[in-house]
Chain A
Amino acid sequence: MAFFLRRLLGIIPILFLTWTVVFVVFEFIPGDPVSLMMGGVPASDEVMANERARLGLDKPVLERYASFLGRAVVGDFGESYKARQPVTQMIREQIRPTLELAAGGLVVGLGLGLLLGVLAGLKPNSWLDTVCIFLALAGGSLPSFWSGMLLIYVFGTVLAWVPIVGSGFSALILPSIATGLFMAGDFARLVRSSIIDAMKQNYIRTAYAKGLAPIRIVGKHALRNALIPPITMLGIQLSTLIGGAVVTENVFARPGLGTMLVDAVLNKDMPLVQALIVYTTGVYVLVNLLVDLLYVLIDPRIKYARTPSR
């Protein structure tokens, strides 16, 4: 519990830093936000000045920084230049499809990675190992936008097994595969080396000596212990997943935060970009916290008596 609290407190400086970085970066963006907002429509100086005052842009930098931080704490990042809506509300409306895609990609990526990794790791340097490792490498080299297009073409157009557009579960299958394939490679390699290590441990020899069935040894004893390093990666892989979602949403023309981000950048809709980045980081930090807690559940040997050394 104390560990949990300490980790929770540790998030504060990270969030604070992120907000500062985001604020500073967007301070330096060339171009006047108000004229961006007007979208090139000519406006009188008076209108511009009013708008600037309404947005608080006429105040000194430090004061704006303070108010930015204050609003960031309550999750208010202003309103979109283009849609003229509060960005937080826009994000809330679009977060669901992205979460679904991320979850789907995670399931595919973990499942495939686990399968390849275990197959490769059980018999190191066998032909099966070579094939699995090559597949893992190929998966990581596959441009996810291209694999997405291939999937659409083969399963959506030629075979017509699944709908290409839509919001149901069946429309989620292909995007999840495209997102997951890219992730599976890294994960498979990690599982592989982790399994190889685990299979050399004494408790595995003990399990064999006890006469347990190999499937139980691998499934229960080896896998459980071998999963710890890959789970550490899970937190880091989340950023791959988010990045993958940006691309996949674009390819499959799915609504979601990724599509929103690319559009926001193309439209120079800065409050939206700011908010999206801040929320992404927030989610990332939270998931990493959860991952840390997950270790304890999987491996009771890990007890956070002391601060984990980083």
Chain B
Amino acid sequence: MTTLALSPARLRSASFLSGLREFLKHPGALAGTIVLAAFVVCAIFAPWLAPFDPSETDIGMRLGPPDAITWFGADIHGRDIFSRVIWGARYSLPVGFATLVVGLIIGGTFGVMLGYIGGRFDAIASRIIDVLLGFPSIVLAIMVVAVLGVGLVNVVVAVAIAEIPRFARVIRGAVLVAKQNLYVEAALAMGASSTRVMFLHILPAIMPTVIVLGTLNLGNAILSTATLSFLGLGAQPPAPEWGAMLNSGREYMRYAPWTMMAPGLALFLAVIAVNLIGDRLSEVIDPRNARRR
């Protein structure tokens, strides 16, 4: 992964609005923003948007195919899949976001410390990070679930922990670059404390990196948490979480394929929207990431 560090001046000089216009000029980013906004609306207004109660069962509707009333069909308990998918936005998006924030805060703290302190401490810790990077992140997350136990909150912690090494590595790189800035040297020469330099000088300088890293990994975070729920380690039925819905739908896939269509499509759309946004954002914030011409 490239180190993405920029002077904060660049971020400030480009005004927010022109940045936004630049960002939305890209059709993919525009589409991604619209889709993501739609999901956010679903998450916020789920009780009003969903035509049925997501946990209301109806024996007569069991595995009913999509029709004018149940748009996406009904599941094994006769629950309306459309309503459940809308409610599902309340799970995957916040859970993915929470995972990301926890991972960034912890990984970022490690990264800043490693990059700032350097020396032997950095050398040893970086070796440990190398080892941790070796664990497939989903396996690492499963291991953490093994320790903490099954559940959605534990999945957030598990996926966040699994992301920490990668975040720490990238942010450490950004800090190493930011440290080279003259103003850091100047601040230190003026007798500023390490904490002050880290928070006032290093942190703003690595902010673009953090934002790009965050958006590029949000899709992954959503996918990983949904995957764990699918494996039965996260959200438990009857929660209308997309991964868990897919898990309970797969038994009936042969006769009722609609039980897996809508939740999977929703998950796919949410992740691709976030990834499109992340891609474009990294190009706008750091032009070095732009597609080479």
Contact = CB atoms under 8 A, between A and B. Distances in A.
Contacts of A149: 246, 250, 253, 260, 264
Interface string A128-146: 0000011001101111111
Report whether over half of chain B's contact residues are helix, strand or loop; otherwise say mixed.
helix
B66 interface: no
Interface of A: 13-14, 17-18, 21, 25-26, 28-29, 124-125, 133-134, 137-138, 140-146, 149-150, 152-153, 157, 193, 196-197, 236, 238-243, 246-247, 250-251, 261-262, 264-266, 268, 270, 273, 276-277, 280-281, 284-285, 288
Contact of B268 (A142, A241, A288): A142
26 contacts: A17-B128, A21-B131, A25-B143, A25-B147, A124-B291, A125-B291, A125-B293, A137-B276, A141-B272, A143-B223, A143-B243, A143-B246, A146-B268, A149-B260, A153-B254, A239-B137, A243-B138, A246-B142, A247-B138, A265-B145, A265-B233, A280-B135, A280-B136, A281-B134, A281-B135, A288-B134
Most chain A CB neighbours (cut-off 10 Å) among B138, B146, B260, B279: B146
A197 B291 CA distance: 12
Interface of B: 28, 127-128, 130-139, 142-143, 145-147, 150, 219, 223, 226-227, 230-233, 243, 246, 250, 253-254, 257, 260, 264, 267-268, 271-272, 275-276, 279, 291-293
A275 B246 CA distance: 30
A199 to B, nearest CB: 11
B139 to A, nearest CB: 6
Contacts of A28: 147
A262 B128 CA distance: 25
Given A277-B143, A288-B134, 8 more contacts: A14-B134, A125-B293, A133-B291, A142-B271, A196-B292, A247-B231, A281-B135, A284-B135
A278 B22 CA distance: 47
Nearest to A150: B264
Contacts of A288: 134
List 8 A-B pairs, minimum CB-CB distance, nearest first: A146-B264, A239-B136, A243-B138, A141-B272, A243-B136, A141-B271, A265-B146, A242-B136
